[in-house]
Structure 1
Amino acid sequence: MKVSLFKALPVALAGLFMGSAALAQETPSATTAAKFRTWSIGVNAGVLTPVSPLGGRNDFSNNKYNFGYGLYIKKQFTPYFSLRLDGVRGKLSGDNTEAFGSGAANNSAVRSFETQLEYSATLNAVVNMFNIDMFKKENALQLYALAGAGFAGYQPTITTAGGTTAFGGGKTINELIIPVGLGAKFKLTDAVNFDLGWTFNYVDGDNLDGVYRNGNDKYSYAHAGLEFALGSGKQLAFHNPVAATYDEAVAAKNTANALKSDLDAQKAENAKLRSEMADILKDTDGDGVADKLDKCPGTPAGTVVDGSGCPLKTPEKVVERIITEEDRKVVKDAISNLEFDLGKATIRSKSFATLNRVAGLLIQKNFSLKLAGHTDITGSRELNLRLSKERAESVKAYLVTQGANASRIEATGYGPDQPIATNKTAAGRQQNRRVEFTLY
């Protein structure tokens, strides 16, 4: 019989896994992307009995009901499929005080048995068969089926018809078991579920009750308990991807309808804009400037016009101004002789003669002049910027009083930002305090 159980195990598990895989393929990607509670632990208690409605009874005519308890840890992979590690302990017992179901007298040499189920540990594939309301994104009730494999350890004790007690070797017997079961789960909160289940366990041996006859033993565990979902968010097990997909499809259809309406409105708006654009771009005289912007309509064909549609004026002849070495010497002398009162922008009178020559040069040759004031680092930067600017402006003002064109003179102050010598020595600071003249 061990061979037959080993052959049945992959068939049962394959059926559950194939069903769960087919259901998982229908799960939308949004399900896996969302944050769900996928880990849970459960505790339960119920009734252990050495009988299975799917495989008949064991070797005794009267199977008794005994207390059992268990716990499990579960990982939910999709709304339809999970793996669950179960552990159960308790007691199994029965006797031959009643006639067999056929009515035949029970003349067994063994009166009763009692087996301590020290442990059972199984790994089960659990499939949520369907959510109760297929049009709700989240349900509160679901039915499930499970199948798996594992091991059970137990010690049977038998009592003979003569009252003698015998132990099953005094050692724990370990056997392969295959559980299959059904259950219903009720969601109480996002973190707590009420669980009802009935599991039928098929033992790969005929020693569970201490009596060896034809056929392997079996037992069942009917239980109730609580399941606690770990983490935060909703439970993946109660999520309904079918309803979520339906809602997404409806939303997509509404979005498509809205986009179509927007597209129709945009087409009408574009037609209106094209008509308005044709009016705006109308160019009667063909000069390249639209009538709405043409300030000189009716210009002859071939006339070169500016951006306002008016004929371009003939550019004035550019007069090249040549700066000679003598001109540069006049400027250099003015720079060398330029002095101001200490800390002020007042020009000392000894500088007037050379500045007068610069003014005459600007008037005579129509030169332009850039004045750039500079200081050393003595004092604050703000003060030096202001002083350099004021000194440049003071030179400009003097040149204007001597007849120079103010529009051709630019005065700027740079403060201490453009030194030409070190500021660590008095000589260097003296060189940095200057006004530069640039002819052009």
Structure 2
Amino acid sequence: MNYSTLKKGLAVSFVALMGATTLANAQDSTATSSSAKVFGGRGQYRTWSIGVNAGVLSPFVAIGGSNDFNSQDVNLGYGISIKKQLGHAFGLELNGIRGKVSGSNKNAPGGVEFGYRDFETQIQYAVDLRGVVNVATVDFLRRENSVNFFVTAGYGLMASSSKTTAANGTVTDNKGTYIGSQYDRHDAKDYRKDVYIPVGAGVKFKVSDRVAFNLGYTMHFTDADGFDGATNVKTTTKDKFAYGYGGLEFSLGSKSKPDLNWVNPLALMYDELKDPSLRQEVEALKNRVSNVEKSIEDLKKDSDGDGVADQFDKCPGTPAGTAVDGSGCPLPVAPVAVAATASGFEPIQFEFNSSVLKTESYPILDQLSSGLRSNGGKVTLKGYASSEGTAAYNLKLSKDRANSVKTYLVNSGVSSSQVSAKGLGEANPIASNDTEEGRIQNRRVESSRN
């Protein structure tokens, strides 16, 4: 390919770009404004795009390195792409290119080096999946960017065939001579298959809401020596080639949605925070919180000071100092000894492996609470357990049972300093642990007045 042909190709590309830009601007003049939110998800954006590109292929890459031929030719390459944008800064792109790569040894004495004059490799296809990262922009203060710099890397597979010219002018066309399988040496193929790693960078210009113009450069590193048809020339050489291109990328999807490629998340967040409707929602939320707080205060209100909130007080206006039950009604005046036994009061029973108080224990505990609040004094709570389980576990369980009784008394108005609780485990059974009836009696808490 000569430079005249290349210039004609670039001119055609420029005319196509201008035409596409004009068409896209006309189509986008009716696009509606976006209501995208910072945390609204990808569904509020256009995320798919297709692209076409054309450019030049070269056997040399920008970072240098060893090559089998010392002079490059510039040849036309072309390709297509399909991209899914996964976030503001990252997308996955499927790429395919075709074209010709060629070079020579014209800079060597006699135009020959290692027995070769030149080569020409036809790329039937080179297809890869690569990640595309938007690394920077020159207009980061804008609500939507219009110039993005990007880098790419991925993994691909290509099919190619090469021709070489020897020092004596003999041309060797390798097409149809490639071994298709290492197990079948007679299975000759037209093209050799190689994997490669594409690594590149570029810049993207927003032409319109639908169209972007891309300039990029990608280096393709093959995992073999033979892409150029010259093998075992330099033992450490794995072949490579580069593709510099320009192309158009077309965003797909509803025109009412913005392209995720160009959204600036920081500017979007700033605009969202300044949105008057958001401020109204915040104020409404504050009012709801205030109403909830007021409702909580109303629930806690205790007009007669008897320890029972007005919402649950069935006997409002109880005189100060009157002992009341859980519904706020005065307790009957009775000596503590009504429910007392030799140990202080009737034992509080518990279910198997439980420290939860039974409701039938409440009257006994209310009487004990009334006596302690009216007459003062102190009480010692002793928790016990039946013999099931280990001694260590039963000791802890008995302590939990004693603390359950203490918590009830303290919540009913008894000072915590008036009550002490301790667990004695399986000690001091009042019935045999060999029967379930006896074990039921042993699951208990006893008290003694100090």
TM-score (ref. length: structure 2): 0.48
Higher alpha-carbon Rg: 1
